[in-house]
Amino acid sequence: MTRIRFTAAYDGRPYLGWQSQPGGRTVQDVLERAFSGLFGIPCRIHGSGRTDAGVHALGQVFHADAPDTHRIPADKWPAALNTRLPRTIRITHAEYVPPGFHARFSATGKTYRYCISRAPILNPFDAGLAWHRPLAWSADILEQAVHLFRGTHDFTAFAALRGNEPRPIPEGYFRRTITQTQVEQAGEHVFITFTGTGFLYKMVRLMTGAAHEAARGKITLEELARLINAPLPDDKSPFCAPPDGLTLMRVHYPEETFGDKKKIN
């Protein structure tokens, strides 16, 4: 078997998230059917992590082990698979990697972007791709709020529970590091970008929702800062943004080469 790393882009609207589920309506399920049809045998793929129902990706990474009989040039893999995939999922890159590479455990971080539309009337082409927030709010305060998340914090207040957490929850379980944040405006769209070493369940949506509540004047920046730095056991972010505007942009690895063969740190 030969290990291959793939990069995939997908529109999350038709799917129940990334993770395989009974019924087969997830991105992983669709990809595995494409691989199994190509190989003629069942194939399991391993993603860098989950995206929820309705969440999109431009840079999701996964790996698969292909039979040696299917060793083709790496740049031919996208076309070979895309012909078997719906238009809402596309393989954008493939490369052969050492057998020790793992899409999830080799990753060092991720970058997510959230899109908010300020348009008075939502453009129908933004439906499911942006959070429509036309009411008055301050983009300047939004930026200040988003920057509060930078650094290493206990993000208990910004994590939903899946129900499969270890019990008792170990100390530091909700501790994460946000290395970079950015807020950009382009016309009627506002884009919030988070880069971090790892993200908890619904963490980006909860951070975005809280920052937007501050921008609306519903909570103060001081209240938000206290929620980040010293959350009480029952404290939670006051609002969770919907999945519509969230996109996984990139998964980071210590040293990697893509199609242009440039090293990315």
The alpha carbon of 86 is separated from its chain's Cα centroid by a whole number of angstroms, namely 20
Contact 249, 193 (CB under 8 A): yes
3-state DSSP assignment of residue 190: strand
In the set 52, 65, 126, 154, the catalytic residue is 52
Q: How far apart are CA 178 and CA 176, in angstroms?
A: 7
* The 3-state secondary structure of the chain, one letter per residue: CEEEEEEEEECCCCCCCCCCCCCCCCHHHHHHHHHHHHHCCCCCCEECCCCCCCCEEEEEEEEEEECHHHCCCHHHHHHHHHCCCCCCEEEEEEEECCCCCCCCCCCCEEEEEEEEECCCCCCHHHCCCCEECCCCCCHHHHHHHHHCCCEEEECHHHCCCCCCCCCCCCCCCCEEEEEEEEEEEECCEEEEEEEECCCCCCHHHHHHHHHHHHHCCCCCHHHHHHHHHCCCCCCCCCCCCCHHHEEEEEEECCCEECCCCCEEC
Q: Would residue 52 show up in a list of annotated catalytic residues for this protein?
A: yes
Could you list the active site residues? 52
